[in-house]
């Protein structure tokens, strides 16, 4: 009897080596980044909407008599954000550059409005929202998108003029502009958003190729600034000391983090089942926002949390792939800045839930409840989709597409013919 080839199993199907080669070939296709961004976004949105309903149902029945109150609001924000994402995915690069300065100005104005007595609203020690009657808007989320666009446009212009070889042209006016946004956010005592803005700033410097000495100096300055922000606010010091001593104050300072760990631990490998979690029964504060990852871990177990981590990992890979493959400096910088924003925010949120980072109060992108965070994030992801179309070979692949997005996706995966 003839021996079975090493690369095929008994059924004649491809063996492990051919499967690896096929997977590598799949990642090398022109539209890989496009479909990864789109697929990860859709799956995170679907998971987020489901978990907002599960995490908020008990509290909303008590408060409003309906379990669907926050679910309906989140669905409405999603219905607004998805068309914005679709529109952004079809915009040319020059439009994003044209939006940079108006969006920066708008972000500065509404961040200043937060500090006006009677307009700003506080929660959890931070003043983050502007009260506009029926809705409350969180301007700092727009500030993240504004810094990505403005910083990318500014550095792209300086790159064209050859002004990025010296530290002064590299940092001016990027550092003062980013500093103004950070200052306005700091005045509202929002450390989490401050960290994300500073991450975007450092990410832009890294991508543009800032000298190592300058980058290390800026990173040190950021660490010093964050340390000062922690020391000057008593509640932040309490969070930090609670993080360093998790066994103490479990009924006060460490209550939320302790309950989050209990929720994760009770989920086990496969979880208690969707809707069957116990932490949302008035045990875990902010279950539908800052600590929604703990509810995912409780109801879907370790498997569910790994799926979420994998989706954000794929999103990070796709964003960095776009930044590496496009040739336009603005596109490269904006793609890297948007990716750093979303992925680092996810890392900070998840790190706080699993107690490897202090609690900062920022949401999990696309998953946590809140329209102010969701809409700018979807616009940024639409921008990444627009940039993915500019990768080598992507336009040709799109021009030869089939009759619909489902068939195109299946064809990309090799599961259907065009």
Q: Tens of pLDDT along 294-316?
A: 999 999 999 999 999 999 999 99
Tokens representing 416? 């259907």
Q: Which residue has the tokens 């550092």?
A: 175
| Spatial contact of 368 and 55, defined as CB atoms under 8 Å apart | no
- Across-strand partners of 145? none
pLDDT tens-digit readout, 154-191: 999 998 888 877 778 788 899 999 999 988 888 877 78
How far, CA to CA in Å, does 397 sit from each of 86, 332, 401? 19, 21, 6
Q: Highest-confidence range of 7-11, 184-188, 398-402, by mean pLDDT? A: 184-188
More confident residue, 214 or 252: 214
CA angle 151, 38, 374 (to 5 degrees): 60
Which phi and psi angles does 275 have, rounded to 5°? 85, -5
* Rounded Cα distance, 417 and 339, in Å: 32
pLDDT of residue 333: 96
Please indicate, yes or no, if residue 335 is contained in any of the structural domains.
yes
Beta bridge partners of 126: 123
Asked if the structure places residue 1 within a domain, the reply is: no
Residue 14 phi, psi dihedral angles, 5° rounding: -60, 140
Residue 200, domain member (yes or no): yes
Q: Is residue 166 part of a domain?
A: yes
Residue 174 within any structural domain of the chain: yes
- If phi over 0 gives left and psi between -120 and 50 gives alpha, with beta otherwise, what is residue 368? beta
> Does residue 6 belong to any structural domain of this protein?
no
* C-alpha distances in Å from residue 286, one per residue of 70, 92, 124, 275, 289: 13, 39, 10, 16, 5
Is 418 inside any structural domain?
Answer: no
pLDDT in tens, 196-224: 998 999 999 999 888 888 888 888 888 88
pLDDT at residue 126 is higher than 70: no
Locate 278 and state its tokens: 């116990």
Residue 291 domain flag: yes
Omega before 173 cis (within 30°)?
A: yes
Q: How many domains does the chain have?
A: 1
pLDDT value at 3 more than 70: no
Q: What is the DSSP string of 214-265?
A: HHHHHHHHHHHHHHHHHHH-HHHHHHHHHHH-TTS-TTTTTHHHHHHHHHHH
pLDDT tens figures, 34-65 = 999 999 999 999 999 999 999 999 999 998 99
Residue 145, domain extent = 31-412
Residue listed under structure tokens 């500093």: 179
Of 314, 284, 311, 315, nearest in space to 299 by CA: 284
The answer, yes or no, to whether residue 1 has pLDDT greater than 50, is: no
Would you call 120 helix, strand, or coil by DSSP?
strand
Distances 320 to 164, 313, 377 between C-alpha atoms, Å: 22, 11, 17
CA distance 311 to 291: 18
DSSP letter string, 286-307: TTTTTTHHHHHHHHHHHHHHHH
- SS3 label, residue 408: helix
Contacts for 340 with CB less than 8 Å, ≥ 6 apart:
199, 200, 203
Contacts of residue 257, Cβ cutoff 8 Å, sequence gap at least 6: 242, 243, 246, 352, 355, 359
Q: How far apart are CA 51 and CA 46, in angstroms?
A: 9
Q: How many residues does the chain have?
A: 418
Asked whether residue 392 carries a pLDDT value surpassing 50, the answer given is: yes
* Closest listed residue to residue 34, CA positions, set 418, 376, 331, 409: 409
């Amino acid at each position: 009897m003839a021996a079975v080839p090493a690369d095929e199993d008994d059924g004649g199907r491809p063996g492990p080596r051919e499967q690896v080669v096929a997977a590598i070939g799949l990642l090398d296709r022109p539209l890989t980044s496009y479909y990864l961004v789109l697929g990860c976004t859709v799956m995170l949105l679907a998971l987020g909407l489901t978990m907002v309903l599960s995490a908020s149902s008990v509290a909303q029945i008590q408060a409003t008599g309906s379990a669907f109150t926050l679910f309906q609001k989140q669905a409405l924000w999603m219905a607004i954000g998805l068309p914005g994402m679709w529109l952004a995915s079809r915009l040319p690069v020059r439009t994003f550059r044209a939006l940079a300065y108006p969006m920066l100005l708008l972000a500065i104005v509404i961040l200043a409005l937060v500090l006006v007595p009677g307009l700003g609203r506080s929660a959890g020690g931070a003043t983050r929202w502007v009260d506009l009657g029926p809705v409350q808007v969180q301007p700092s989320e727009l500030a993240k998108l504004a810094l990505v666009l403005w910083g990318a446009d500014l550095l792209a212009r300086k790159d064209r003029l050859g002004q990025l070889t010296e530290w002064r042209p590299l940092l001016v006016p990027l550092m003062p502009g980013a500093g103004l946004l950070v200052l306005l956010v700091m005045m509202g005592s929002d450390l989490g958003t401050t960290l994300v803005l500073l991450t975007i700033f450092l990410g832009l410097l890294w991508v543009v190729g800032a000298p190592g000495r300058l980058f290390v100096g800026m990173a040190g300055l950021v660490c010093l600034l964050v340390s000062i922000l922690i020391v000057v606010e008593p509640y932040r010091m309490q969070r930090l000391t609670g993080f360093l001593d998790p066994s103490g104050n479990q009924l006060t300072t460490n209550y939320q983090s302790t309950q989050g760990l209990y929720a994760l631990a009770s989920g086990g490998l496969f979880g208690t089942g969707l809707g069957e979690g116990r932490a949302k029964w008035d045990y875990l504060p902010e279950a539908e926002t800052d600590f929604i990852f703990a509810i995912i871990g409780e109801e879907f177990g370790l498997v569910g949390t790994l799926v979420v981590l994998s989706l954000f990992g794929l999103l990070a890979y796709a964003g960095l792939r776009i930044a590496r493959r496009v040739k336009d400096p603005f596109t490269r910088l904006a793609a890297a800045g948007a990716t750093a924003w979303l992925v680092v925010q996810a890392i900070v949120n998840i790190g706080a839930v699993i107690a490897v980072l202090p609690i900062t109060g920022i949401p999990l992108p696309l998953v946590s409840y809140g329209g102010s965070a969701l809409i700018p994030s979807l616009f940024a992801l639409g921008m990444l989709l627009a940039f993915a179309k500019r990768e080598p070979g992507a336009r040709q692949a799109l021009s030869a597409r089939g009759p619909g997005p489902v068939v195109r996706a299946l064809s990309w995966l090799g599961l259907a013919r065009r």
